[in-house]
């Protein structure tokens, strides 16, 4: 594939974006990549992609955005080198970032003014899962545009769900991430309890994955917890904090109680304060392990009366 119809632009070549780009290359797409980091652009070129320095320089009718924050989205849409500066009629922008819905809606409106369609398509899955295309696309927006880009979505994700009007994808992403956060802590809590009871961590992991108590987070992050090794991270705690903030704001806007989310949030904050911010979110296991061992240390060092 090398014609314009099979060309795809990927803006944001971080952990997720680079995996998406490489999978599309393997599926035969011509991939143009844009990122502020020269190193990331060079890595894409080495993998067979074509690096560009500005969004408006991508000669493709399909653009995939995987961005770190709202300011990056505003810049690639309305900045001096943004997509609205040199619009392509009938272009579709597949926005896969986890960002506030109001910012995505603003970008969608700006693109619509130059006849470019934006789809709200956040992804469910880790960076490690992205490498093997083990991702779920939570798609929302114009249904015809979604249908027309299914081959692209299938090029980097093995599952797609169309959820309705623009914004439903982001709402669903908040719900999935709430469960990711809670299930990750639940997996860590169970493994710490078992380890303290003298059970072999590797054996526990195998048995739990085969039990009614399993979860996707246990299956994905359990091995990191068993080995107590949290590098390289598939999702850094300091990055996931942005998602926690979004979930908290989402629930607050709806005046919806989220007691388990609130309780688990404290463990991620503790992990940040203890220097685990750059490690995988599985590092909440260390916070719980330290708490579990603290009581033993108090008892061991308790002075005799």
Per-residue pLDDT in tens (0 to 9) along the chain, 305 residues = 333 468 999 999 999 999 999 999 999 999 999 999 999 999 999 999 999 999 999 999 999 999 999 999 999 999 999 999 989 988 999 999 999 999 999 999 999 999 999 999 999 998 889 999 999 999 999 999 999 999 999 999 999 999 999 999 999 999 999 999 999 999 999 999 999 999 999 999 999 999 999 999 999 999 999 999 999 998 999 999 999 999 999 999 999 999 999 999 999 999 999 999 999 999 999 999 999 998 676 555 555 54
**pTM assigned to the model:** 0.90
According to the model, what pLDDT value does residue 4 have? Answer: 45
How many C-beta atoms lie closer than 10 Å to residue 293's C-beta? 12
Range list of H helices, 149-254 = 150-156, 168-196, 201-209, 216-227, 237-253
pLDDT at 159: 98
Q: At what angle do helices 237-253 and 259-273 cross, to 10 degrees?
A: 150
pLDDT value for 176: 97
Contact 88, 116 (CB under 8 A): yes
And the tokens for 27?
Answer: 């599926």
Assign 5 to helix, strand or coil: helix
Give the pair of three-digit tokens for residue 52.
């560009």
Which are the contacts of 193, defined by CB distance < 8 A and separation ≥ 6? Answer: 292
> Alpha-carbon distance 60 to 47, whole Å?
19
3-class SS of residue 44:
helix
Burial class (CB in 10 A: 0-12, 13-18, 19+), 57: middle
**Contact status, residue 70 vs residue 105, Cβ threshold 8 Å:** no
């Amino acid at each position: 594939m090398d014609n314009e119809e099979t060309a795809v632009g990927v803006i944001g070549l971080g952990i997720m974006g680079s995996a998406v780009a490489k999978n599309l290359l393997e599926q035969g797409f011509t991939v143009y990549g844009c990122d502020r980091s020269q190193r990331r652009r060079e890595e894409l070129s080495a993998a067979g992609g074509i690096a560009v320095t500005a969004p408006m320089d991508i000669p493709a009718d399909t653009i995939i955005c995987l961005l770190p924050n709202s300011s990056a989205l505003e810049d690639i849409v309305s900045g001096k080198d943004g997509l609205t500066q040199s619009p392509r009629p009938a272009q579709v922008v597949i926005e896969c970032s986890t960002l506030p819905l109001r910012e995505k809606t603003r970008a969608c409106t700006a693109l619509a003014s130059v006849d470019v369609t934006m789809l709200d398509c956040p992804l469910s899955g880790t960076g490690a899962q992205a490498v093997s295309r083990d991702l779920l696309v939570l798609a929302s927006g114009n249904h015809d545009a979604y249908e027309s880009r299914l081959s692209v979505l299938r090029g980097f994700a093995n599952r797609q769900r169309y959820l309705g009007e623009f914004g439903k994808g982001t709402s669903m992403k908040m719900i999935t991430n709430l469960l990711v956060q809670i299930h990750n802590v639940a997996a860590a809590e169970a493994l710490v309890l078992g380890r303290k009871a003298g059970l072999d961590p590797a054996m526990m992991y195998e048995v739990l994955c085969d039990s009614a108590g399993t979860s996707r987070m246990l299956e994905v992050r359990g091995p990191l917890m068993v080995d107590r090794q949290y590098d390289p991270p598939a999702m850094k705690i300091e990055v996931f904090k942005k998602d926690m903030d979004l979930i908290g704001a989402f629930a607050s806007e709806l005046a919806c109680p989220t007691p388990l989310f609130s309780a688990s949030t404290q463990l991620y904050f503790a992990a940040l304060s203890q220097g685990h911010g750059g490690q995988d979110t599985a590092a909440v296991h260390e916070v719980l392990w330290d708490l579990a061992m603290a009581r033993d240390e108090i008892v061991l060092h308790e002075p005799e009366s």
